Structure 1
Amino acid sequence: MINTVKKTATVILLTAGMVLPWRGQAQNQSLPLIPYPQKVTMASGSFNINRQTVIALPSGQQSHQEATLLNNMVANGLGTYLKYGTGAGTNVIKLVTDASVTANEGYILSITPKKIILSAKSGAGMVRGIETIRQLMPDNVELANGTKLKQLVLPSVNIEDYSTYTWRGMHLDVSRHFFSIAYIKKYIDLLALYKFNTLHLHLTDDQGWRIEIKKYPKLTEQGAWRTFNNQDSVCMEKAKTNPDFAIDPKHIITRNGKTLYGGFYTQQQMKGIVAYAAQRHIDIIPEVDMPGHMMAAINNYPYLSCDGGSKWGEVFTTPICPCNESTFTFAENVYKEIFEIFPSKYIHIGGDEVDGSGWAKSGACKALMVKEGITTAAQLQSYFINRMEKFFNKNGRKLIGWDDVLEGGISPTAIVMYWRSWKPNAPVTAAKNGNKVIMTPGSPLYFDNEPDKNSVYNVYHFNPVPEKLNATEAKNIIGAQANVWTERIPTENRGDYMIFPRLTALAEVLWTGKNDYQGYLARLQQNYPRLDALNVHYRLPDLQNVAQNNVFTNQATLNITAPLPQMVMRYTTDGSVPNLKSTVLSGPLKITQSATIKLTAFMPNGLHSDVYNINYKQQNLAEPIIKANTQPGLTCDYYGAFYKKTALIPTEKPTGQYIVNTVVVPAEAAAPQFGLRYTGYLDIPETGIYTFYLTCDDGGILNIANRLVVDNDGLHSAIEKDGQVALQQGLQPIALNFIEGGGGYTLKLKYSKNGSAPQDIPAAWLKH
């Protein structure tokens, strides 16, 4: 949904400088702003905020709340708060309420050597402009106990700005692993910094109930605590080499001789969080997931399920029963208290991953299905969702559900949150049905998916609007958000690592809506010191030109340029994890024998990268195969079944067989879960060492010349892994096994030679 800023009179006068339109002007952009404004006019000089500067409020002080945010930042930098005044004269920061700024979150900012004027029609617009001022101020304004300056210097500039999408959201799952109030407030502050306006809190799930409900006290007395589960054990194993995976001791207690993990927010605590967000004009959208993902509730109130309890099925847990009135009494009582805590007009009911296979066995459900003409479990879920939507609407709220709620039919007034990337028509169907749609596809917007060197690029180039929508239908795409599920995120540091810097890329997609990736990367470099000041444990920029598995015939050279000047790279060759005492990689390192090098990049403030495991193997050039009468393309055998590893794919009797001219998932592979086996030859045009890049969601293994080149096996999100192989010119056997466990349908294979940029494998190379 597009917003615009309009003025009835000319506000920005160009007396110096030049207009910097977004596209194609990265070389002229000098402002470290993310997201970048819609229109920037650079001017001469600067405005210096000092202890004599005055903040002038609009008549009636409608912006006092917003001005307090600005004054707190200034006080961090100067050591004193500014006084409020009339705005007459110079050396003033003037906040102006201006109804002609038509976009709700739009603002106009004019900074001259004499004054700052920030104009907006709403408090939300005022805050977005203040956050721009914040990013223009020195980084020390983020530190209450930092060094105090005599003045804060801001460049002269005129900015006209507004958001492209109305829904700019981030999500946080506090159920799988719990997070402190302080961390949530830090999260909110960072969302405000980058102009997000929504925080979606996933408050309940099978693993824990995190919000106090006074009518049902056992939800938090018992449901908020658990013994360590299999997700915790995975994190504990990873913690042996990375302390960011250690289970946070703040959330561990001992009760009746048992060690328990968990926690919850009282209603009063959550109201404080809501108020903190509201000051920054960020809505908190609560999610109490129903009818599935309710084990934490059913274990304490067994009557909620059709058979009096909950257990894990093949994939999901037993849901609550949509056929008993007691279920609706419980759900409505819970949501009445949720409504009292959260003023947002949007409430998320979940509605995803519901295993309704047991409902049909219930006598109550059999009777309801006859009465309502219901024939499927999906329709039973829709009955529950549609009835709850009416309850929401009666209480002045709007229902949001994951796109699963579409399957049994849904009213056009519900808001659909699209997450299942393997169902690309879901958002199209919803938008054509008249539903407002929020885009949250797992690829690339599940920030709990392990990042790789392509993650930021993929987020930045995400287009929220599906291609199959016309201009009118596209207006139903109101924005997007990234989701952070925390099964494998047990600490706040790991949360930061997974979220940043991907969040900054999404901020620009949703606010600015235009593409200047190189300009964004330059501004991201300028944003790192601010994130340092805010104690954000972000993921460091990836080291470039580092292959995981390298081969050489005589010798090789490890030569890496640090992406940040203050970054120090340290390595080991004995299998140990690098630390601050390990050898510094200060220049090119010659490799003359097979070896494994472990390398970690360190920053002065203690941040460090994950460990790079760089393998070197001395290898002879593989001799080609002599074979006449080859045909174009590879053979692709398709097996329509579920496999956890590629080794489990059969070698006989495929479901289907195709000849393919490119290595992608063929359109014929339509099952939710399947395996693919590609075989044939690569017609290598030139002798040398080749690097292959294999991206899989879920897993794949690549063999060339009967040598393992890339092992990207297992069930996981779209991750790129690479490897090298020494090949002579001619036909070289290729075998690629790929598994899809349900979700991504992503398979890409690229190559490079002698350090060239990765590129697609030409169709002319593929033979069988």
Structure 2
Amino acid sequence: MSHDDARERAAHLVPQPHSVLLGAGVLQLPAELPVRLDVPAQERAAVLRAIALLPVTSKVVAGRAVVQVRLGAGATPPEGYVLDVTEDGVTITAADRSGVVYAVQTLRQLLPDAAYRQAAPSGTLWVVPVIRVEDSPRFRWRGMLLDVARHFLPKREVLRHIDLMSAHKLNTLHLHLSDDQGWRVESLRFPRLHEVGSWRATSQVSHYSDEAVHDGTPHGGYYTRDDLAEIVAYAADRAITVIPEIGVPGHTGALLAAYPEFGSPPVPDRAVHTNWGVHDALLAPSEQSLEFLRLLFDELLPLFPSPYVHVGGDESVLRAWDNDPVVRAFADKRGLSGSAEIFAALMAEVRQMLAEHGKTPVTWDDSFATQATGAAAESTTTLVMAWRGAEVARRAAAAGHDVVLSPVMPTYFDYFQEAHPDEPLAIGGPVTLGDVASWEPIPQDWSQVESARVRGIQCQMWTEFVEDPRLVDYLLYPRTCAFAEIAWGARTQDLHRRLPHHLDRLAAAGVEFRPLTGPAPWQRGGTGRRAHRAGVPMAERLANYAGAAATGTVADSPDP
């Protein structure tokens, strides 16, 4: 391996570090890597697991080492690192274990692309350039949502995406675990949730604008408690926090198929929904359903060490409560008037349940916008995930909420990537790679106080029309590469130059990304059920969402 090859890799890092000083010479890592750990005793095992992300075996030594890790409070900014490579060895300095993980991920990119394979070709030399990298992130929350409710992703796929997230220095996995079309968590206390709610008899394969067509094939799956423990631990080793979403009161069709008595109205023959879109199935605000939620949270929340729990609050068609005597009794007991006040009271009860577990609630911006028009605004302890544009995000920040920016444009990666017949079926679009790469999350006219409320950003992989894990890869990459640049805070304009080399790394890892020249022949929409549709134009969809956010109403709600 030539010096030039090693130096070339240093010029194609993604996300781009904040400071890179390239020196002369190279370092070749031995087959067995001596590692010295100057870290607190309680961190040693975790730091060693981070070092194990490299494609060589390692052993801890007390004396001279090829890799030395120094971990100490204040050594760098949070999650930051200094990676110093000389011809004699590697020194990693960080203030926390996350910084060590990110230093290792940068070091891995400096190695030959074979570092991303499960087994390297014979004769691979692990050569890195002499270099000094100083780096730290812009945003604390660098997230990705995986919708495993609409189409289930097997555990192996979730673990693989955790690997890819860590490789791009993303640190928050938002698992969308429940919706109208599926419930994905084993419950010992309420077993019908996974026995009944985890599968549907068929799935819609037609676009919203077409006559409904279904595939006639059962679909489902769920994660056992042990699966979730594995996912959480695997993610933690890669500096990723797993945040569960159990949404209420809307998007509860699968829950209510299992336990219809908690619905509004309590229809006894509910089934898990087989169509996409916004449905009017709602959890009823009642003493009975609140006790159900309390017991469910008591069981499930301890599975997730995250300080945050997402409780939905979006796309709730509140008119379903208008003539329900159970809801009326709940409202009368509390002196509530109107659906907005009832909704606010229900979400307040949910917040209290989370507080009892030491958790901070996260909701979609619908919850904030709806309650902002009612008598009781949502508590500012709630983190608002703003998906309907910058204006509702700004209002939430101005009201004192921390916010995570997750706008449809450009962070919804289920939208097609180019307005072209070759693109496979999607809701609409496009959201191009260029749209993502050019995004500035915080508008310039925001005040300093409003900007300080932005905890971070998140991209979304919804899966209504994404039944194939290979298609998940196609939709996520390379757009996620550009998103990671923004999330990390790389202030560069040359991603287009670095990306082709970075895609070689992803190819080595087996990622079936969309080529920069357009879809491969087998990735095209074709003429079958995956055939391209124009869908809803992005400008029209954004206007609809912005209008709904401004008025505190539900976007894309079904007709009365």
Normalized against structure 1, the TM-score is what?
0.63
Find the structure with the greater CA-based Rg.
Answer: 1
How far apart are residue 376 of structure 1 and its match? 2.5
1:414 alignment partner AA: T
- Deviation at 1:362? 2.0
- Distance in 1 between the 2:191 and 2:392 partners? 38
Letter in structure 2 aligned against 1:329: E
Letter in 1 for 2:23: A
Match of 1:42 in 2: 22
Match of 1:499 in 2: 476
1:127 aligned to 2:108? Answer: no
User: How far off its partner does 1:337 sit?
Assistant: 2.0
Spell out the pairing of 1:79-478 with structure 2 (5 A cutoff): 81-88=57-64, 92-149=66-123, 151-231=125-205, 260-309=218-267, 316-406=278-368, 407-408=370-371, 409-421=377-389, 424-452=390-418, 455-478=432-455
Quick one: which amino acid aligns to residue 191 of structure 1?
Answer: M
User: What amino acid maps onto 2:170 in structure 1?
Assistant: F
Aligned to 2:5: none
Map 1:653-664; keep pairs closer than 5 Å.
Answer: none
Q: Contact 1:321–1:359 at 8 Å: present in 2 too?
A: no
5 Å-filtered alignment, 1:16-27, equals: none
Give the Å deviation of 1:72. 4.8
**How far off is 1:463 after superposition?**
1.7
1:754-765 map, 5 Å: none
Hey, what's the Cα distance between the residues in 2 that align with 1:530 and 1:303?
51
Q: Matched residues in 1 for 2:39 and 2:503: separation?
A: 38
How big is the shift at 1:322?
Answer: 4.2
* Larger RCO, structures 1/2 (Cα 8 Å, 6+ apart): 2
- 2:165–2:171 contact (8 Å) kept in structure 1: yes
Letter paired with 1:508: E
One-letter identity of the residue aligned with 2:55: V
CA distance in 2, matches of 1:609, 1:362: 48
The structure-2 alpha-carbon separation of the partners of 1:296 and 1:52, relative to structure 1 and needing over 3 Å to count, comes to: closer
Alignment of 1:607-618 (within 5 A): 610=524
CA distance in 1, matches of 2:187, 2:409: 34
8 A Cα contact 1:87 1:93, kept in partner = no
1:31 paired residue number: 11
Aligned residue among 16, 24, 35 for 1:55 = 35
Q: Which amino acid in the other structure matches residue 151 of structure 1?
A: L
How has the CA–CA distance of structure 1 residues 97 and 410 changed in structure 2, closer, same or farther, with 3 Å as cutoff? Answer: same
Cα pair distance change 1:167/1:52, threshold 3 Å: closer
- Which letter does structure 2 place at the counterpart of 1:213? S
Shift of 1:206: 0.7
- Deviation of 1:167 after TM superposition, in Å, equals 0.3
How far the C-alpha of 1:339 sits from its partner, in A, is 1.1
Query: Aligned partners of 2:17, 2:490: CA distance in 1, in Å?
Result: 10
Amino acid at match of 1:69: A
Match of 1:64 in 2: 45
How far does residue 194 in structure 1 lie from its aligned partner after superposition? Answer: 0.4
Structure 2 CA distance for partners of 1:135 and 1:63, relative to 1, 3 Å: farther
**Distance of 2:122 and 2:137 partners within structure 1:** 34
Is 1:73 the equivalent of 2:54? Answer: yes
Opposite residue 18 of structure 2, the aligned amino acid is Q
SS of alignment partner, residue 82 of structure 1: strand
Q: Distance in 1 between matches of 2:382 and 2:473?
A: 32
1:610 positional shift: 2.6
Q: Which moved further from structure 2: 496-505 or 28-37?
A: 28-37
The CA distance in 1 between the partners of 2:190 and 2:544, in whole Å, is: 36
Quick one: structure 1 residues 132 and 295, their matched pair in 2 at CA, closer, same or farther if it must change by over 3 Å? same
- Provide the TM-score with structure 2 as the length reference: 0.85
Change in Cα spacing, 1:72 to 1:107, as seen in structure 2 (3 Å) is closer
- Asked if the contact 1:320–1:327 (Cα under 8 Å) also holds between the matched residues in 2, the reply is no
CA distance in 2, matches of 1:461, 1:314: 31
Q: Structure 1 CA distance, aligned partners of 2:510 and 2:19?
A: 31
Maintained 8 Å contact 2:17/2:135: yes
Q: Secondary structure at the match of 1:94?
A: strand
How far apart are residue 462 of structure 1 and its match?
A: 1.4
8 Å Cα contact 1:305-1:318 kept in structure 2? no
Amino acid at match of 2:515: L
Is the 1:206–1:294 contact (alpha carbons within 8 Å) kept by the matching residues of 2?
yes
> Which whole-Å CA distance do the structure 1 matches of 2:192 and 2:541 have between them?
42
Deviations 1:353-402 (A, max 9, x none): 00110212122333433444433312221111111111111210000000
Task: Return 5+ residue gaps in structure 1 as ranges.
Answer: 1-27, 76-80, 238-245, 248-257, 544-599, 603-607, 614-711, 720-737, 746-768
CA contact 1:437–1:477 (8 Å) conserved in 2: yes
Does the residue aligned with 1:361 lie in a helix, a strand or coil?
Answer: coil
Query: Where does the alignment leave 5 or more consecutive residues of structure 2 unmatched?
Result: 1-7, 372-376, 420-430, 548-560
Deviations 1:21-69 (A, max 9, x none): xxxxxxx995221111111111111111013641111255524323333
Does the 8 Å CA contact 1:169/1:482 hold for their aligned counterparts? yes
The answer for the alignment partner of 2:511 in structure 1 is: 536
What does residue range 568-583 of structure 1 map to in structure 2 within 5 Å? Answer: none
Give, as a single letter, the amino acid of the residue that structure 2 aligns with 1:461.
S
Contact 2:386 2:393 in 1 (8 A): yes
| Contact map agreement 1:601 1:609 (CA 8 A) in 2 | yes
Percent of counterpart pairs with the same letter? 29
Query: Retained in 2: the 8 A contact 1:427–1:466?
Result: no
Within 1, Cα distance between the matches of 2:546 and 2:63?
56
Q: Kindly provide the CA deviation profile for residues 467-486 of structure 1, in whole angstroms up to 9, marking residues without a partner as x.
A: 44211221101111011110
Q: What are the within-5 Å matches in structure 2 for residues 547-626 of structure 1? A: 601=520, 610=524
Q: 1:354 to 1:150 in 2, by over 3 A?
A: closer
Alpha-carbon offset, residue 196 of structure 1: 0.3
Counterparts in 2 of 1:346 and 1:539: CA distance versus 1, 3 Å: same
Higher share of residues assigned strand: 1
Alignment partners' CA distance in 1, 2:534 and 2:378: 36
Distance 1:108 1:50 in 2: 22
- Measure the CA separation in 2 of the matches of 1:230 and 1:289: 22
The CA deviation at 1:260 is 2.0
Alignment check: 8 A CA contact 1:212 1:264 kept: yes
Pair 1:484 & 2:446 matched: no
Aligned-partner SS, 1:74: coil
- Please tell me whether the aligned partners of residues 248 and 283 of structure 2 are also in contact (alpha carbons under 8 angstroms): no
* Pair 42,58 (structure 1): closer, same or farther in 2 beyond 3 Å: same
Distance, in Å, in 2 between the alignment partners of 1:320 and 1:336 is 21
User: Greater helix percent: which structure?
Assistant: 2
- Alpha-carbon RMSD across the aligned residues, in angstroms, is 2.8
- Per the TM alignment, residue 122 of structure 1 is displaced from its structure 2 partner at its CA by 0.8
Q: Distance in 2 between matches of 1:72 and 1:713?
A: 41
Q: CA deviation at 1:150?
A: 5.7
The separation in 1 between residues aligned to 2:28 and 2:483, in whole angstroms, is 32
Q: Cα deviations across residues 650-677 of structure 1 (Å, max 9, x unaligned)?
A: xxxxxxxxxxxxxxxxxxxxxxxxxxxx
CA–CA distance in structure 2, aligned partners of residues 47 and 171 of structure 1 = 38
Partners in 1 of 2:21 and 2:436 — Cα distance?
28
1:228, CA displacement in angstroms?
A: 1.1
How many residues matched? 511
Q: Deviations over 1:79-109 (max 9, x none)?
A: xx23221242xx6111111323242201111
